[in-house]
Structure 1
């Protein structure tokens, strides 16, 4: 199949070709488009066509999702720039910087959780409510809801 050209000279790809090259199902592309993460145009036969640059956007979305960044945050990051535009190295740097502190906080939380689980499971009681070492008389329950031990570990206290 011959590639079609957009008016501005950008290559246009069918939804199937984008899915194949990006390594995602067509339904994922439809989902991303419905969420406003990517944009397509329609040809005379009302078929979706995506600019080839969408492959880079999808790659960033996939990596960001793997790191736990919510789709809404990804959308907000891309929303600062025109849809289907070729972002500069500086713009990519801005996106990564914006996500860096959030990712660092997630890493600290995961490390604290990992370390807490080792300590807790090591004794065999498996109960933070009744644990005589970590939470005697359920004093953490009096401090409020949520993972008190983990939250304290993340704060460094």
Structure 2
């Protein structure tokens, strides 16, 4: 899992952000292409952070745009939000992921994606073998799993998920 790059500390703002560095939820939604509801969900999950005005309106630092890009890119590769959150937790709230951070996360994601591809390949091959016999797998399943002995392992498709 990536560590916070050592050069991110200088990126922390020594001064509070100015008004032109803050975005409303509508502006953030328009700029990122992410619906308001998803932004509020990301915030509840701790993936992004906002400041509140005296009228209790959300204001997001511009760096949030890069955090959202990181979230969406990671999600598109199938990385669960919980894992994305663990990685983003390594960065301070209003610091955008750096190139080094993206590279390190990409290395982690590549390992996860390759493992997922291998698992899907195995599932495809096993599934094709079962369905491909033409009997809709009833006869083969009786041969492969007589007496439903796999039920002892609990629910789920054990043969498909097994490495």
TM-score range, shorter chain: 0.7 to 0.9
| Deviation readout 1:26-78 (Å, 9 max, x if unpaired) | 11111100110000112233221111111111122112222221111111000
Structure 1 pair 149/86, CA: closer, same or farther in 2 (3 Å)?
same
TM-score by structure 2 length? 0.76
Structure 1 pair 48/142, CA: closer, same or farther in 2 (3 Å)?
closer
Aligned 8 A contact 1:140 1:148 in 2: no
TM-score by structure 1 length? 0.78
Aligned 8 A contact 2:67 2:96 in 1: no
| Deviation readout 1:69-123 (Å, 9 max, x if unpaired) | 1111111000011112033222222222223222211111111122222222212
Q: CA deviation at 1:136?
A: 5.6
Structure 1 pair 114/45, CA: closer, same or farther in 2 (3 Å)?
same
1:101 to 105, 111, 125: 111
Paired with 1:28 and 1:137, the residues of 2 have a C-alpha distance of 47
2:3 corresponds to which residue? Answer: none
Relative to its length, the structure with more helix (as a share) is 2
1:3 corresponds to which residue? Answer: none
Unaligned runs of 5+ in 1: 1-5
Equivalent residues, number: 147
Paired with 1:132 and 1:31, the residues of 2 have a C-alpha distance of 43
User: Secondary structure in 2 aligned to 1:103?
Assistant: helix
Aligned 8 A contact 1:13 1:49 in 2: yes
Unaligned runs of 5+ in 2: 1-14
